[in-house]
Amino acid sequence: MFGITESMNPFYLALRELRYRWKSGLVFVLVVASVTGVLAYFSVNDASFQKEIGRNVRDIGSNVVILPAGVDQYAYHLEGGYSEITMAANLVSQLIEHRASLNHLIPMLERRVMCTAGDRQSIGRVVGLSASIAMPDRPKAPMQRSIPVGELQLGSELARELGVDRDVKAEVTIAKQVFKVQRVNRASGTWQDSAAFIDLKSAQKIFELPKQISRIEAIECTSEQCEASGLQSSVILNNEIEKITDEASFLRKEEMAEARLNVRSVSRENFLMLQNVLWVFLGFTVLGLAMLNSLRRKSEIGVLQAVGYGRWRVASLFLVRSMLLSVTGAVVGVTVGMLASIEQASRLFVITGQKSSLDWNAAMTIGGVAFLLAVLGGCVPALLAAGENPADLIGRDS
Protein backbone atom coordinates (compact mmCIF):
# COMPACT_ATOMS: atom_id res chain seq x y z
CA MET A 1 0.00 0.00 0.00
CA PHE A 2 1.00 3.65 -0.37
CA GLY A 3 0.57 4.79 3.27
CA ILE A 4 -1.00 8.07 2.17
CA THR A 5 -2.99 10.95 3.60
CA GLU A 6 -5.29 13.25 1.66
CA SER A 7 -2.78 16.06 1.88
CA MET A 8 -0.34 14.13 -0.27
CA ASN A 9 -0.30 15.19 -3.90
CA PRO A 10 0.05 12.72 -6.85
CA PHE A 11 3.60 13.81 -7.66
CA TYR A 12 4.76 13.17 -4.09
CA LEU A 13 2.92 9.85 -4.02
CA ALA A 14 4.51 8.78 -7.31
CA LEU A 15 7.99 9.59 -6.00
CA ARG A 16 7.34 7.64 -2.76
CA GLU A 17 6.03 4.67 -4.69
CA LEU A 18 9.07 4.67 -7.01
CA ARG A 19 11.28 4.72 -3.94
CA TYR A 20 9.73 1.53 -2.57
CA ARG A 21 9.18 -0.12 -5.96
CA TRP A 22 12.37 0.96 -7.64
CA LYS A 23 12.98 -2.41 -9.30
CA SER A 24 9.82 -2.32 -11.39
CA GLY A 25 10.51 1.35 -12.17
CA LEU A 26 14.06 0.53 -13.25
CA VAL A 27 12.81 -2.22 -15.56
CA PHE A 28 10.36 0.26 -17.14
CA VAL A 29 13.10 2.84 -17.65
CA LEU A 30 15.56 0.31 -19.13
CA VAL A 31 13.02 -1.11 -21.57
CA VAL A 32 11.93 2.33 -22.76
CA ALA A 33 15.57 3.48 -22.95
CA SER A 34 16.52 0.43 -25.01
CA VAL A 35 13.77 0.91 -27.58
CA THR A 36 14.13 4.70 -27.85
CA GLY A 37 17.92 4.34 -27.97
CA VAL A 38 17.83 1.95 -30.93
CA LEU A 39 15.24 4.10 -32.67
CA ALA A 40 17.31 7.24 -32.06
CA TYR A 41 20.48 5.51 -33.28
CA PHE A 42 18.90 4.81 -36.67
CA SER A 43 16.67 7.88 -36.94
CA VAL A 44 18.76 10.87 -35.87
CA ASN A 45 21.47 10.07 -38.43
CA ASP A 46 19.08 9.30 -41.26
CA ALA A 47 20.37 12.26 -43.32
CA SER A 48 23.98 11.11 -42.96
CA PHE A 49 23.01 7.55 -43.83
CA GLN A 50 21.19 8.61 -46.98
CA LYS A 51 24.07 10.91 -47.94
CA GLU A 52 26.59 8.09 -47.46
CA ILE A 53 24.52 5.76 -49.63
CA GLY A 54 24.22 8.48 -52.25
CA ARG A 55 27.96 9.11 -52.31
CA ASN A 56 28.74 5.39 -52.59
CA VAL A 57 26.24 5.03 -55.41
CA ARG A 58 27.65 8.13 -57.07
CA ASP A 59 31.12 6.62 -57.03
CA ILE A 60 29.88 3.66 -59.08
CA GLY A 61 30.49 6.07 -61.94
CA SER A 62 28.66 8.04 -64.61
CA ASN A 63 25.74 6.30 -66.25
CA VAL A 64 25.14 8.80 -69.06
CA VAL A 65 27.47 9.77 -71.91
CA ILE A 66 26.67 12.62 -74.30
CA LEU A 67 28.57 12.25 -77.57
CA PRO A 68 28.89 14.34 -80.73
CA ALA A 69 26.05 13.57 -83.12
CA GLY A 70 28.53 12.39 -85.74
CA VAL A 71 29.87 9.53 -83.59
CA ASP A 72 29.02 6.04 -84.82
CA GLN A 73 28.14 4.32 -81.55
CA TYR A 74 29.07 0.88 -82.91
CA ALA A 75 32.55 2.15 -83.80
CA TYR A 76 32.70 3.99 -80.48
CA HIS A 77 32.14 0.78 -78.54
CA LEU A 78 34.44 -1.19 -80.85
CA GLU A 79 37.23 1.25 -79.98
CA GLY A 80 36.64 0.83 -76.25
CA GLY A 81 34.60 4.01 -75.84
CA TYR A 82 36.91 6.22 -77.90
CA SER A 83 36.29 8.66 -80.74
CA GLU A 84 38.19 11.62 -82.17
CA ILE A 85 35.05 13.48 -83.26
CA THR A 86 34.44 16.57 -81.14
CA MET A 87 31.64 19.00 -80.34
CA ALA A 88 31.36 22.50 -78.89
CA ALA A 89 32.18 22.77 -75.19
CA ASN A 90 29.35 25.24 -74.63
CA LEU A 91 26.92 22.32 -74.65
CA VAL A 92 27.65 22.04 -70.92
CA SER A 93 26.28 25.52 -70.26
CA GLN A 94 23.28 24.76 -72.48
CA LEU A 95 22.44 21.66 -70.47
CA ILE A 96 22.68 23.68 -67.25
CA GLU A 97 20.60 26.54 -68.68
CA HIS A 98 17.81 24.16 -69.69
CA ARG A 99 18.01 22.27 -66.39
CA ALA A 100 18.47 18.87 -68.03
CA SER A 101 17.74 15.83 -65.85
CA LEU A 102 21.44 15.34 -65.18
CA ASN A 103 23.99 16.10 -62.50
CA HIS A 104 27.78 15.98 -62.04
CA LEU A 105 28.58 16.86 -65.67
CA ILE A 106 32.21 16.13 -66.62
CA PRO A 107 33.31 17.45 -70.04
CA MET A 108 36.25 15.56 -71.57
CA LEU A 109 38.61 15.86 -74.51
CA GLU A 110 40.88 12.94 -75.37
CA ARG A 111 43.46 11.78 -77.89
CA ARG A 112 45.84 8.84 -78.20
CA VAL A 113 49.30 10.38 -78.15
CA MET A 114 52.87 9.50 -77.25
CA CYS A 115 53.79 9.89 -73.58
CA THR A 116 57.43 10.02 -72.49
CA ALA A 117 59.00 9.59 -69.06
CA GLY A 118 62.81 9.59 -68.96
CA ASP A 119 64.05 7.16 -71.62
CA ARG A 120 60.74 5.29 -71.88
CA GLN A 121 57.72 6.12 -73.96
CA SER A 122 54.34 4.65 -74.81
CA ILE A 123 51.12 5.54 -76.56
CA GLY A 124 48.57 6.58 -73.94
CA ARG A 125 44.99 7.75 -73.91
CA VAL A 126 45.39 11.35 -72.74
CA VAL A 127 42.16 12.70 -71.30
CA GLY A 128 41.57 16.33 -70.43
CA LEU A 129 38.72 16.86 -68.00
CA SER A 130 37.31 19.47 -65.66
CA ALA A 131 35.93 19.13 -62.18
CA SER A 132 32.37 17.77 -62.15
CA ILE A 133 29.77 20.51 -62.61
CA ALA A 134 26.64 20.30 -60.45
CA MET A 135 23.24 21.42 -61.60
CA PRO A 136 21.78 24.32 -59.57
CA ASP A 137 19.80 23.14 -56.50
CA ARG A 138 21.12 19.59 -56.83
CA PRO A 139 23.78 17.85 -54.68
CA LYS A 140 27.06 19.68 -55.25
CA ALA A 141 29.65 17.41 -53.60
CA PRO A 142 32.14 16.96 -56.46
CA MET A 143 32.19 13.61 -58.19
CA GLN A 144 35.41 14.57 -59.96
CA ARG A 145 37.87 17.12 -58.60
CA SER A 146 39.93 19.37 -60.82
CA ILE A 147 43.48 18.46 -61.76
CA PRO A 148 45.96 21.32 -61.24
CA VAL A 149 47.46 22.87 -64.36
CA GLY A 150 50.86 21.32 -65.15
CA GLU A 151 50.07 18.07 -63.30
CA LEU A 152 48.62 14.75 -64.37
CA GLN A 153 47.32 11.48 -63.02
CA LEU A 154 48.57 8.22 -64.53
CA GLY A 155 46.62 5.00 -64.97
CA SER A 156 48.33 2.01 -63.39
CA GLU A 157 49.20 0.24 -66.67
CA LEU A 158 50.47 3.37 -68.42
CA ALA A 159 52.61 4.11 -65.36
CA ARG A 160 54.06 0.60 -65.60
CA GLU A 161 54.82 1.08 -69.29
CA LEU A 162 56.58 4.36 -68.53
CA GLY A 163 58.45 2.96 -65.52
CA VAL A 164 56.81 5.40 -63.08
CA ASP A 165 56.52 4.06 -59.53
CA ARG A 166 53.63 5.04 -57.30
CA ASP A 167 55.66 6.77 -54.57
CA VAL A 168 58.39 8.31 -56.74
CA LYS A 169 58.29 11.84 -58.14
CA ALA A 170 58.31 11.84 -61.92
CA GLU A 171 57.57 13.95 -64.99
CA VAL A 172 55.78 12.95 -68.18
CA THR A 173 56.09 14.78 -71.49
CA ILE A 174 53.04 14.96 -73.77
CA ALA A 175 53.23 16.87 -77.07
CA LYS A 176 56.34 18.71 -75.81
CA GLN A 177 54.48 19.79 -72.67
CA VAL A 178 55.95 18.60 -69.36
CA PHE A 179 53.59 17.49 -66.58
CA LYS A 180 54.39 16.51 -63.01
CA VAL A 181 52.88 13.21 -61.94
CA GLN A 182 50.40 14.06 -59.22
CA ARG A 183 49.64 10.41 -58.51
CA VAL A 184 49.44 6.95 -60.01
CA ASN A 185 45.86 5.70 -59.83
CA ARG A 186 45.07 2.25 -58.55
CA ALA A 187 44.06 -0.38 -61.09
CA SER A 188 40.40 -0.12 -62.12
CA GLY A 189 40.27 -2.88 -64.71
CA THR A 190 39.05 -0.44 -67.38
CA TRP A 191 40.49 1.72 -70.15
CA GLN A 192 41.42 4.25 -67.45
CA ASP A 193 44.42 2.06 -66.53
CA SER A 194 46.05 3.01 -69.87
CA ALA A 195 45.19 6.72 -69.63
CA ALA A 196 46.77 9.94 -68.42
CA PHE A 197 44.45 12.61 -67.02
CA ILE A 198 45.15 16.34 -67.26
CA ASP A 199 43.01 19.46 -66.92
CA LEU A 200 40.65 20.18 -69.80
CA LYS A 201 42.12 23.55 -70.84
CA SER A 202 45.63 22.09 -71.08
CA ALA A 203 44.30 19.28 -73.29
CA GLN A 204 42.49 21.77 -75.57
CA LYS A 205 45.73 23.72 -75.89
CA ILE A 206 48.14 20.87 -76.65
CA PHE A 207 45.66 19.14 -79.00
CA GLU A 208 44.91 22.52 -80.69
CA LEU A 209 41.18 22.08 -80.18
CA PRO A 210 40.05 25.22 -78.32
CA LYS A 211 36.50 25.12 -76.91
CA GLN A 212 36.02 21.55 -78.09
CA ILE A 213 35.24 18.36 -76.16
CA SER A 214 34.96 14.68 -77.04
CA ARG A 215 32.08 13.83 -74.70
CA ILE A 216 30.27 14.69 -71.48
CA GLU A 217 29.86 12.11 -68.75
CA ALA A 218 27.08 12.64 -66.20
CA ILE A 219 24.63 11.02 -63.81
CA GLU A 220 20.93 10.97 -64.65
CA CYS A 221 18.42 12.30 -62.14
CA THR A 222 15.22 10.76 -63.50
CA SER A 223 15.40 7.04 -62.61
CA GLU A 224 13.37 7.13 -59.38
CA GLN A 225 10.73 9.50 -60.77
CA CYS A 226 10.42 7.39 -63.92
CA GLU A 227 10.08 4.20 -61.90
CA ALA A 228 7.13 5.71 -60.04
CA SER A 229 5.42 7.04 -63.17
CA GLY A 230 6.17 4.13 -65.51
CA LEU A 231 8.09 6.30 -67.99
CA GLN A 232 11.47 5.39 -69.45
CA SER A 233 14.41 7.50 -68.31
CA SER A 234 16.22 7.14 -71.64
CA VAL A 235 13.21 8.52 -73.51
CA ILE A 236 12.97 11.58 -71.26
CA LEU A 237 16.68 12.37 -71.53
CA ASN A 238 16.71 11.83 -75.30
CA ASN A 239 13.81 14.26 -75.70
CA GLU A 240 15.53 16.83 -73.50
CA ILE A 241 18.79 16.69 -75.46
CA GLU A 242 16.98 16.86 -78.81
CA LYS A 243 15.27 20.07 -77.67
CA ILE A 244 18.59 21.58 -76.54
CA THR A 245 20.83 20.71 -79.51
CA ASP A 246 21.01 18.63 -82.68
CA GLU A 247 24.80 18.30 -82.42
CA ALA A 248 24.84 15.66 -79.68
CA SER A 249 23.58 12.14 -79.09
CA PHE A 250 22.74 10.33 -75.91
CA LEU A 251 24.14 7.07 -74.54
CA ARG A 252 22.80 5.48 -71.35
CA LYS A 253 24.70 2.75 -69.52
CA GLU A 254 21.65 0.65 -68.70
CA GLU A 255 23.17 -1.83 -66.24
CA MET A 256 24.97 0.85 -64.27
CA ALA A 257 21.86 3.04 -64.17
CA GLU A 258 19.74 0.14 -62.90
CA ALA A 259 22.39 -0.79 -60.32
CA ARG A 260 22.41 2.76 -58.95
CA LEU A 261 18.61 2.81 -58.74
CA ASN A 262 18.39 -0.60 -57.07
CA VAL A 263 21.00 0.19 -54.43
CA ARG A 264 19.28 3.43 -53.44
CA SER A 265 15.79 1.91 -53.47
CA VAL A 266 16.66 -1.22 -51.49
CA SER A 267 18.65 0.66 -48.86
CA ARG A 268 15.93 3.29 -48.42
CA GLU A 269 13.09 0.75 -48.22
CA ASN A 270 14.94 -1.44 -45.74
CA PHE A 271 15.79 1.56 -43.59
CA LEU A 272 12.17 2.76 -43.56
CA MET A 273 10.93 -0.73 -42.72
CA LEU A 274 13.36 -0.95 -39.80
CA GLN A 275 12.26 2.46 -38.51
CA ASN A 276 8.58 1.52 -38.75
CA VAL A 277 9.16 -1.73 -36.87
CA LEU A 278 10.97 0.15 -34.11
CA TRP A 279 8.18 2.74 -33.88
CA VAL A 280 5.59 -0.01 -33.49
CA PHE A 281 7.75 -1.76 -30.91
CA LEU A 282 8.13 1.51 -28.99
CA GLY A 283 4.37 1.98 -28.97
CA PHE A 284 3.60 -1.52 -27.73
CA THR A 285 6.38 -1.36 -25.14
CA VAL A 286 5.39 1.91 -23.46
CA LEU A 287 1.65 1.28 -23.70
CA GLY A 288 2.00 -2.29 -22.47
CA LEU A 289 4.17 -1.48 -19.49
CA ALA A 290 2.04 1.47 -18.40
CA MET A 291 -1.22 -0.42 -18.78
CA LEU A 292 0.14 -3.48 -17.03
CA ASN A 293 1.18 -1.38 -14.04
CA SER A 294 -2.31 0.13 -13.79
CA LEU A 295 -4.27 -3.09 -14.30
CA ARG A 296 -2.23 -5.17 -11.84
CA ARG A 297 -2.86 -2.69 -9.02
CA LYS A 298 -6.63 -2.34 -9.04
CA SER A 299 -6.87 -3.19 -5.34
CA GLU A 300 -4.63 -0.22 -4.52
CA ILE A 301 -6.87 1.98 -6.67
CA GLY A 302 -9.78 0.79 -4.53
CA VAL A 303 -7.93 1.76 -1.33
CA LEU A 304 -7.20 5.23 -2.72
CA GLN A 305 -10.87 5.70 -3.54
CA ALA A 306 -11.87 4.44 -0.09
CA VAL A 307 -9.78 7.11 1.65
CA GLY A 308 -11.31 9.87 -0.44
CA TYR A 309 -9.29 10.10 -3.65
CA GLY A 310 -11.47 10.95 -6.65
CA ARG A 311 -11.37 9.25 -10.04
CA TRP A 312 -9.16 11.86 -11.72
CA ARG A 313 -6.79 12.13 -8.77
CA VAL A 314 -6.28 8.37 -8.82
CA ALA A 315 -5.61 8.49 -12.54
CA SER A 316 -3.17 11.36 -12.04
CA LEU A 317 -1.04 9.23 -9.69
CA PHE A 318 -0.54 6.56 -12.34
CA LEU A 319 -0.16 9.20 -15.00
CA VAL A 320 2.63 10.97 -13.10
CA ARG A 321 4.40 7.66 -12.47
CA SER A 322 4.27 6.68 -16.15
CA MET A 323 5.35 10.15 -17.22
CA LEU A 324 8.36 10.20 -14.89
CA LEU A 325 9.52 6.76 -15.96
CA SER A 326 8.88 7.33 -19.68
CA VAL A 327 10.57 10.72 -19.76
CA THR A 328 13.58 9.32 -17.91
CA GLY A 329 13.77 6.30 -20.20
CA ALA A 330 13.32 8.40 -23.34
CA VAL A 331 15.97 10.95 -22.30
CA VAL A 332 18.46 8.21 -21.43
CA GLY A 333 17.67 6.21 -24.57
CA VAL A 334 17.78 9.12 -27.02
CA THR A 335 20.98 10.47 -25.46
CA VAL A 336 22.74 7.11 -25.58
CA GLY A 337 21.43 6.44 -29.09
CA MET A 338 22.67 9.79 -30.38
CA LEU A 339 26.07 9.40 -28.72
CA ALA A 340 26.42 5.91 -30.19
CA SER A 341 25.43 7.25 -33.59
CA ILE A 342 28.06 10.00 -33.40
CA GLU A 343 30.71 7.52 -32.26
CA GLN A 344 29.88 5.13 -35.11
CA ALA A 345 29.96 7.91 -37.71
CA SER A 346 33.75 7.56 -38.05
CA ARG A 347 33.27 3.93 -39.07
CA LEU A 348 30.07 4.14 -41.09
CA PHE A 349 30.30 7.44 -42.97
CA VAL A 350 33.76 7.13 -44.52
CA ILE A 351 32.91 8.58 -47.94
CA THR A 352 31.18 11.66 -46.54
CA GLY A 353 34.04 12.56 -44.24
CA GLN A 354 33.07 10.54 -41.14
CA LYS A 355 30.57 13.21 -40.13
CA SER A 356 27.19 12.74 -38.50
CA SER A 357 24.24 14.98 -39.32
CA LEU A 358 21.96 14.71 -36.32
CA ASP A 359 18.24 15.26 -36.78
CA TRP A 360 17.12 16.94 -33.56
CA ASN A 361 13.50 16.92 -34.72
CA ALA A 362 13.62 13.13 -34.87
CA ALA A 363 15.07 12.97 -31.35
CA MET A 364 12.36 15.27 -29.99
CA THR A 365 9.66 13.29 -31.81
CA ILE A 366 10.85 10.03 -30.26
CA GLY A 367 10.77 11.50 -26.77
CA GLY A 368 7.40 13.16 -27.39
CA VAL A 369 5.78 9.98 -28.68
CA ALA A 370 7.10 7.99 -25.70
CA PHE A 371 5.64 10.64 -23.39
CA LEU A 372 2.20 10.59 -25.04
CA LEU A 373 2.09 6.80 -25.03
CA ALA A 374 2.89 6.84 -21.32
CA VAL A 375 0.00 9.25 -20.72
CA LEU A 376 -2.44 6.97 -22.55
CA GLY A 377 -1.10 3.75 -21.07
CA GLY A 378 -1.04 5.02 -17.49
CA CYS A 379 -4.14 7.21 -17.38
CA VAL A 380 -6.83 5.30 -19.31
CA PRO A 381 -6.68 1.97 -17.39
CA ALA A 382 -6.55 3.85 -14.07
CA LEU A 383 -9.60 5.91 -15.03
CA LEU A 384 -11.51 2.78 -15.97
CA ALA A 385 -10.59 1.07 -12.72
CA ALA A 386 -11.41 4.16 -10.68
CA GLY A 387 -14.92 4.05 -12.08
CA GLU A 388 -15.60 0.70 -10.45
CA ASN A 389 -16.87 0.01 -6.93
CA PRO A 390 -13.99 0.38 -4.40
CA ALA A 391 -15.19 -2.66 -2.46
CA ASP A 392 -15.00 -4.84 -5.58
CA LEU A 393 -11.48 -3.59 -6.36
CA ILE A 394 -10.20 -4.16 -2.82
CA GLY A 395 -11.45 -7.71 -2.86
CA ARG A 396 -9.38 -8.67 -5.89
CA ASP A 397 -5.83 -9.97 -5.84
CA SER A 398 -3.25 -7.35 -6.68
Domain ranges of the chain: 10-54+263-394, 64-252
- DSSP state letters, 318-333: HHHHHHHHHHHHHHHH
What's residue 230's pLDDT? 45
The residues, any chain, with a CB within 8 Å of residue 93's CB and separated by 6 or more, are none
Cα four-point dihedral sign 67, 70, 75, 80: negative
What's residue 54's pLDDT? 62
Integer Cα distance of 143 and 106 in angstroms? 9
Helix (H) or strand (E) holding 177: strand 177-184
Per-position pLDDT tens, the chain of length 398: 444 444 456 666 667 766 776 777 787 788 778 877 877 777 766 666 666 666 665 556 677 889 999 999 889 888 888 999 999 999 999 988 888 888 889 999 999 999 999 899 999 999 999 988 888 876 666 667 889 999 999 999 999 999 999 888 899 999 999 999 999 998 888 888 999 999 999 999 999 999 999 999 888 775 444 444 445 666 777 788 888 888 888 887 766 666 666 666 666 666 677 677 777 777 777 667 666 665 565 556 656 655 556 666 666 776 777 777 778 888 888 888 878 777 766 666 655 555 555 667 777 777 777 777 766 665 665 555 555 555 554 555 44
The number of residues in the chain equals 398
What's residue 139's pLDDT? 60
Integer Cα distance of 389 and 301 in angstroms? 10
153: closest CA among 202, 118, 107, 119?
Answer: 202
Amino acid letter, 38? V
Q: Count CB atoms within 10 A of the CB of residue 183.
A: 14
What's residue 361's pLDDT? 73
The answer to whether the beta carbons of residues 101 and 120 sit under 8 Å apart is: no
The residues, any chain, with a CB within 8 Å of residue 88's CB and separated by 6 or more, are 211, 212, 213, 247
Integer Cα distance of 277 and 133 in angstroms? 40
Instruction: Record the pTM.
Output: 0.60
- Main-chain dihedrals φ then ψ at residue 186, nearest 5 degrees: -70, 155
- Main-chain dihedrals φ then ψ at residue 351, nearest 5 degrees: -65, -35
Q: What is the 3-state secondary structure (H, E, C) of 228-293?
A: HHCCCHHHHHHHHHHHHCCCEEEEECHHHHHHHHHHHHHHHHHHHHHHHHHHHHHHHHHHHHHHHH
What's residue 338's pLDDT? 79
Cα four-point dihedral sign 238, 243, 244, 245: positive
The residues, any chain, with a CB within 8 Å of residue 54's CB and separated by 6 or more, are 139, 264
